[in-house]
Structure 1
Amino acid sequence: MVETTFDVAGLVGHRYRVDDYYEVGREKIREYARAVQDFHPAHWAEDAARELGYAGLVAPTTFLSTAAMLANRKLFDTVITGYDVVVQTDQVFEMYQPVVTGDRLISDVEISAVRSIAGKDLITVTNTFTDHTGAVAQIMHTTVVGITGEDIDPDVGDAIERVVMHGLDTTSRTTATPAQSAAIPVSETGPHLSPTSQTRVPRTAVRLEDIAVGDELPARVVRLTRGDLVNYAGVSGDANPIHWHDQVAALAGLPDVIAHGMLTMGLGAGFVTEWLGDPGAITRYGVRLSNYTVVEAAAAGSVEFTGRIKSVDPETGTAVVVIVAKSGGRKIFGLATAEVRLG
């Protein structure tokens, strides 16, 4: 086992800017929407997106987790070290403007918080995505727990090396020279929060005057097979074999292969936007993971989503939805909420 040999708390404030923008592709949006089983027409057809006021296909709520995966790779390979494995526990998405086809977004990566609970280190990484004008499109906060010790089989590292895909780029892609930086479209005035998500008129199927605290959303059950997990791994870039390889999952102390936490979050976001009718009407989405969805080789797993209105604010035209996700009779979301704007 690897011993933690660095001052974890001393990492707070470590930051870098990725040296290339991420361009949001039309087909990538469709691939991701398929991977999280989100079939809202605005993710698939330009005509449907334009009817809701978007300039192109609009990305699903959790889409930029794919860009964050690329941006954060250096951080987890060279900075957050000393753990046998890191496990995602919490995720928050703050949406300041819808992400659409053709957007070129720049990612700043920062270790924004470190705390210790029950002897475990919880590390929060913040990704700030800005466009060429310096407007913040989305901010993501990802919290992981670093695990060492007897919970993990010492052979898990070797097993991963034997099965993980080749060709992963783990080199630094941070701003290193003026020449590199000159190629990135960046505002000279610095980042500022885009007001778009707070000011655009949402075109939701649900009206504010038609909902009340305690109202329930229509339930949804989603089936997941090993094929769904492999597809999501390829689309998202999350190559962790605990999501598709029985031996590695067992060595990691899991009962079987499990679904990606971010996949279940994407399913949960789609559950809410299907009810809303406007994918850009979510302004904040936060999930605490409390359990996992087991997907056996011989049978599909399933996740049941339910939700209810927690609060309504007529002055701002907003509401908070509490989301419950269950799999195998267990809650897989400890606390999950979506803040939405209604037409």
Structure 2
Amino acid sequence: MDTVFDAAGLVGYRYRVDDYYEVGREKVREYARAVQDFHPAHWSEAGASELGYAGVLAPTTFASIVAMRVNRALLDDVMTGYDTFVHTDQVFEMHKPVLAGDRLFSDVELSSVRSVAGKDLLTITNTFTDRSGEIVQVMHTTVIGLTGDDVDADISAAIEGVVMSGLEVAATPAVTDQPEQAAPRYSEVSRTRLPRTVIRFEDIAIGDELPARTVKLTRGDLVNYAGVAGDVNPIHWSEEVAALAGLPDVIAHGMLTMGIGAGFVTDWLGDPGAITRYSARLSNYTVVEAVSAGDVEFSGRIKSIDPETRTATVVLIAKSAGRKIFGLATMDIRLTWNSALPR
């Protein structure tokens, strides 16, 4: 079967998940711990209230938990020409802060297929709306589809022997035959609320560097993140499967690294809800050995600023064992300003 032809023919395939995801207060805190993000807005109502939020605020990459569940129907039941997938690129577009108690409704679409060096790159777009019908967040996830020619023949059997149970029962059913509905509107909250950042716009300049931070990751951290986020890929905790996948050892999740990176920036920024876009190309990995932690060194700098909108773009760098984890990672942020200055 010509998987390239078939995949390209499926571009535009979409469905709405026949259930909502309710954001739980304790789930937010579990996820914040998993990505080592200890900003008070993620942990208590008091900490969130200080920034003007009506409830505990979900970390920047929290919606990846929802996407992990709702994309399974597409990857497992529709994209059947592939044996496994490798995550390469991720984009988060934030339109409204996600708070504990919110209900997220999910639309899933295979939005793009392109061929690079003989491999198919598939982009899945998740659109999350709330009870009012407004778009809260949009995610674009790009994966490489791999066939049996690309992976060890024994990997499927190895995965079957170690993967967690109950995935079929836990999968959320999808509805593909819904009638046409009016296009949902994008929320304006993330772009109109007054940010409460500790860094003011008038105090930054192009080239300014963020204070560096080194994060340690152990096998326990990887197992915890896998459970909290629902990432069932055993390359993140099984040495046998990692070896069959051609990896030197167990590696950290790309989304775990992105989640920690988001917290690195928002800790400096002071207001996690001041991020409007976060994108990263996952070009390498962090090896985490059984008896020693893996280190990830985060740094960043101001790439550009816009005086009209009082926004800036941060370039985020993550390195492990001298290798860059992100090919390119950027974050668009809004900043508070001195109200006495002319706009």
Q: TM-score range, shorter-chain basis?
A: over 0.9
1:174 alignment counterpart: 174
* Alpha-carbon distance, 1:172 to partner: 5.8
- Does the aligned pair in 1 maintain the 2:34–2:228 contact within 8 Å? yes
| 1:61-80 matched pairs, under 5 angstroms | 61-80=60-79
What's the offset of the Cα at 1:133? 1.3
Q: Deviations over 1:224-247 (max 9, x none)?
A: 000000000000000110000000
Matched with 1:192 is 185
In structure 1, stretches of 5+ residues that fail to align are: 182-187
1:244 is aligned to 2:237: yes
Cα 1:124–1:216 shift into 2, 3 Å: same
CA displacement at 1:7 relative to structure 2 = 1.1
Does residue 8 of the first structure (1) align with residue 7 of the second (2)?
yes
SS of the aligned residue for 1:213 comes to coil
1:148, distance to aligned residue in structure 2 (A): 2.5
Equivalent residue for 1:335?
328
**1:15-67: CA deviation from partner (whole Å, max 9, x where unpaired):** 00000011100000000000000000000010010010001000000000000
How many residues align? The count is 334
User: For 1:46-65, what aligned pairs fall within 5 Å after superposition?
Assistant: 46-65=45-64
Pick the aligned partner of 2:305 from 293, 304, 312: 312
The equivalent residue for 1:21 is 20
Residues 1:172 and 1:11: Cα distance change in structure 2 (over 3 Å): farther
Q: Are 1:298 and 2:291 matched, yes or no?
A: yes
**Separation of aligned partners in 2, 1:21 and 1:236:** 17
After TM superposition, the score normalised by the length of structure 1 is: 0.94
C-alpha deviation, 1:84, in angstroms: 2.3
Does the CA contact (< 8 Å) of 1:98 and 1:197 recur in 2?
Answer: yes
In the superposition, the TM-score normalised over structure 2's length comes to: 0.94
Quote how far apart the aligned CAs of 1:169 are. 2.6
Instruction: Determine helix, strand or coil for the equivalent of 1:39.
Output: coil
> Please, which runs of 5 or more residues in structure 2 have no aligned partner?
337-343
* Cα distance per residue 1:223-278 (max 9 Å; x no partner): 00000000000000001100000000001110000000000000111111011000
Q: Which runs of 4+ in 1 moved over 6 A?
A: none
CA RMSD of aligned residues (A): 1.6
AA aligned opposite 1:79: V
**Secondary structure in 1 matching 2:71:** helix
CA contact (8 A) 1:15 1:111 kept: yes
| Alpha-carbon separation, structure 1, partners of 2:333 and 2:283 | 23
| Matches of 1:142 and 1:189, distance apart in 2 | 25
The match for 2:127 is 128
1:270-311: per-residue Cα shift (whole Å, max 9, x none)?
A: 111011000100000000011000000011001000000000
SS, match of residue 107 in structure 1: strand
User: Partners of 1:335 and 1:175 in 2: how far apart?
Assistant: 36
